[in-house]
């Protein structure tokens, strides 16, 4: 069974750094083609894609948040870690990690997140 | 391009058919994936690729694509299909980033 589970603090003060861990099971982070992403959702708002890390350690970031985000993985621990600096009240959200897959059906390629964690809610308040 | 536009809300009578659309330039290059989200729950993948469903997703969910628009159709909507639906694609700017649509709230009457 493939599972992902987010963990981290539930409450932060403004300017603090958020560190979230996604612990995966049922698949390996170093399997060719594998990637894991982070997504957040402010209360009552839409999903926002944050970052992605590939099996070969290639990393992608949302351009609007790139200066604040760092994504890493520890294959031996089956964990993907997201850090987000300088947190503010507008960053209050539920954060999800998800496994991302890819496929093709000529002439199109496609990408999808097939398994999601249950999410962890982070509140930023003084 | 990194924008995907969805209608904010649609409603459908129980047992009827509803189509949810997602519009964006990237959909001329990539198939969209679709996610259902119920209140307080994580999103769930319902359709991906040309028209594939993960195991356990009912066949009343189907996807299609034409030009810059992707569609998710629920044929014979059930009460449990009520929720928010998001499309997802990859941008075509060369940054290889993913992004989500604005979301559609589906109400089953």
- Per-residue pLDDT of B50-107, as tens digits, reads 999 999 999 999 999 999 999 999 999 999 999 999 999 998 887 778 999 999 999 9
Predicted local confidence at residue B1, as pLDDT: 59
* Cis amide bond preceding B56, omega within 30: no
Which tens digit of pLDDT belongs to each residue from B10-57? 999 999 999 999 999 999 999 999 999 999 999 999 999 999 999 999
Interface size A-B, in CB pairs within 8 Å, comes to: 83
Predicted local confidence at residue B65, as pLDDT: 94
b/e code A23-32 from CB counts within 10 Å (16+ = b): bbeeeebeee
Query: Under an 8 A CB cutoff, do B100 and A39 touch?
Result: yes
| Tokens 């999903």 found at | A47
**Chain A residue closest in CA terms to B32:** A110
Predicted local confidence at residue A109, as pLDDT: 86
Say whether pLDDT at A15 is over 80. Answer: yes
Reference B30, options A102, A79, A125; nearest CA is A102
d(CA A33, CA A102): 8
Say whether pLDDT at A113 is over 80. Answer: yes
- Arithmetic mean of pLDDT, A46-71: 96
3 state SS for B82-95: CEEEEEEEECCCCC
Say whether pLDDT at A59 is over 80. Answer: yes
Query: Under an 8 A CB cutoff, do B95 and A60 touch?
Result: yes
């Amino acid at each position: 069974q493939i599972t992902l589970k987010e963990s981290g603090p539930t409450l932060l003060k403004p300017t603090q750094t958020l560190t979230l861990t996604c612990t995966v099971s049922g698949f390996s982070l170093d399997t060719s083609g594998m990637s894991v992403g982070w997504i957040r959702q402010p209360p009552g708002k839409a999903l926002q894609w944050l970052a992605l890390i590939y099996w070969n350690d290639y990393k992608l970031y949302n351009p609007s948040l790139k200066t604040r985000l760092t994504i890493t993985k520890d294959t031996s621990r089956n964990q993907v870690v997201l850090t987000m600096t300088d947190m503010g009240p507008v960053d209050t959200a539920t954060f999800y990690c998800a496994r991302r897959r890819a496929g093709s059906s000529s002439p199109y390629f496609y990408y999808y997140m097939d398994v999601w964690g249950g999410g962890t809610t982070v509140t930023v308040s003084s | 391009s990194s924008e995907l536009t969805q209608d904010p809300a649609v409603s459908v009578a129980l047992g009827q058919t509803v189509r949810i659309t997602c519009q964006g330039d990237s959909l001329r290059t990539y198939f969209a994936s679709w996610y259902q989200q119920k209140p307080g729950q994580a999103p769930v993948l319902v359709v991906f690729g040309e028209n594939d469903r993960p195991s356990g997703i009912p066949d009343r969910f189907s996807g299609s694509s034409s030009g810059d628009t992707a569609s998710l159709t629920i044929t014979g909507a059930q009460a449990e299909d009520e929720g928010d639906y998001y499309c997802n694609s990859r941008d075509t700017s060369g940054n290889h980033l993913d992004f989500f649509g604005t979301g559609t709230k589906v109400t089953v009457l």
